[in-house]
Chain A
Amino acid sequence: MKKMNVWAVALLSLVATVSSVQAQDTLDKVKASGTFVLGHRDASIPFSYYDDKQQPIGYSVDLCLKIVDAIKKNLNMPNLKVQYQLVTSANRIPLLANGTVDIECGSTTNNADRQKQVAYAPTTFVTANRIVYKKGTGVAKLADLKGKTLVSTAGTTNIKQVTELNAAQNLGINIVSANGHSEAFLMVETGRAAAFAMDDILLAGLVASSKNPAEFEISSEALSTEPYGIMIRKDDAKFKALVDSAVKDLMSSGAINAIYSQWFLKAIPPKNINLNIPMASNLKKVIAKPTDSPDPKAYE
């Protein structure tokens, strides 16, 4: 046992020494390695998802590719290689922090808690946390789920919020966590869960691409406001300045409107469904005045 103790102490001190906070420098890292890793999702329709050839596409992916163009110009590296790395809601922040991805292009909510770990580009979409359920099951709002099962995706602001609401308001809901949006939606489809709590735009995409969209309904009750932003590492002033200016350029030049209409107003792969969601007034506001504020009140 004594020998094990010596090694245990040695191991722990090893871990303890790597505890100094240092500044990150993404642009230097990209210049040195020649590649830029773009983190994307697999089922966040229409922001970041796989088409039927397993290629990542989407609104956020397109915005990120414009940022990549800006990086290429800034570093004078027209042949910069872009690598795609799949991330999930659960591991997107750790993978960004530990360097596996350089930017995360998905459906990530910007809030004060997360800004302790990561930084955000200016908000590029504003959505709200709602629930989807099958029609005719007697569910219309969160309080109707008493004694029933509510599913949400691991690592999202949604699951954290419903867990806190459940405890604070004593709603008696059984909350289950799923690995991804499609698993969670499948649980509602097969009847394992009574409802799925997620951002309403993602729910709209999942319902539209399901086998029988007419049997689902999204609640009118909104539990919170969720501003989406592209995620980058914290303490990296140079890179943040570049990303901010690239996104602000897209907004001021109006190029973002074309990208928006391609994903929200036209037919999108893989099932050629048109979500047909005109730009909401809160999104028009942030395009006119870009902000990366984590405060939901700034988006009303």
Chain B
Amino acid sequence: MGAYDFDVIARSFVYLFREGLTFSVTLTVLAMCGGIVLGTLLALMRLSKFSWMSSFAATYVNLMRSLPLVLVIFWFFFLVPYIGAWLMDSKTPIKVGAFASALITFTLFEAAFYCEIMRAGIQSIPAGQVSAGYAIGLNYRQTMSYIVLPQAFRNMLPILLTQTIILFQDTSLVYVISSTDFLGAASKVANRDNRLLEMYTFAALVYFIICASMSWYVRKLQAKISIIR
């Protein structure tokens, strides 16, 4: 077939962006927030002096980093309703939609990577900061929340944002559970109308523009934010 039909992009534009891209972006933003919070918690656990805490966090992080994301998506897609039922002691499995299952998956998966980043960030804060905190009478929780974490967060902001860009790219993997994210929407249109070339090229272009602009922004941020010690 010789003729390319780029009109199909114009016809499905609204569907692609209203259903597909909203799904991808919402999932990314929510998973990023949840992931950073959980990741920071895991990092603190990993650096704590209680060995059961640090070994739990280490096992969790190593487990998530050893498994392909596709497999983790499948696990949570089939597993979450059963766990929900068990937790809430219900007789029937709890109904969890595709979005909720994807959100739980990505939050828990990316938390492992955010944990490593925050751990590097916390460890890069000079020990003197912590000692000074204790010296003026703050306890562990106050030292962490007022002195260490704000600085660690600021230092690691470019890398955290880069991880978020990777998270945005990873949301395309919900294709394997037939969710309608941006790639899924493009794929549905492509298969229905036999327009594989036009739709997939368009999807690649949109992803490229979004990620490249974010990467450019992160590079500028990195230059602005670096603290010379």
Contact = CB atoms under 8 A, between A and B. Distances in A.
Q: Are A and B close enough to touch in the complex, i.e. CB under 8 Å?
A: yes
Given A23-B91, A101-B95, A186-B196, 10 more contacts: A3-B55, A3-B58, A18-B86, A25-B91, A43-B192, A54-B15, A87-B178, A97-B93, A98-B93, A183-B191
Given A18-B82, A25-B91, A7 B56 contact: yes
A3 B57 CA distance: 11
Contacts of A42: 188
Interface of chain A: mostly helix, strand, loop or mixed: mixed
A189 interface: yes
Interface string A83-98: 0011110010010011
B55 A29 contact: no
B194 A186 contact: yes
Interface of B: 15, 19, 51, 55-56, 58-59, 62, 77-78, 81-83, 85-86, 91-98, 177-178, 180, 188, 191-192, 194, 196
Contact of A98 (B59, B62, B81): B81
A22 interface: yes
B91 A189 contact: no
Contacts of B98: 85
Interface of A: 3-4, 6-8, 18, 22-26, 28-29, 33, 37, 42-43, 54, 85-88, 91, 94, 97-101, 179-180, 182-183, 186, 189-190, 211
Contact of B95 (A33, A87, A88, A183): A33
A54 B86 CA distance: 35
Given A23-B91, A189-B194, A99 B59 contact: no
Contacts of B191: 43, 180, 182-183, 186
A100 B92 CA distance: 10
A85 B62 CA distance: 34
B91 A91 contact: no
Nearest to A102: B95
Rank and list the top 6 A-B pairs by shortest CB-CB distance, nearest first. A99-B93, A3-B55, A98-B81, A182-B191, A98-B93, A7-B59
B81 A100 contact: yes
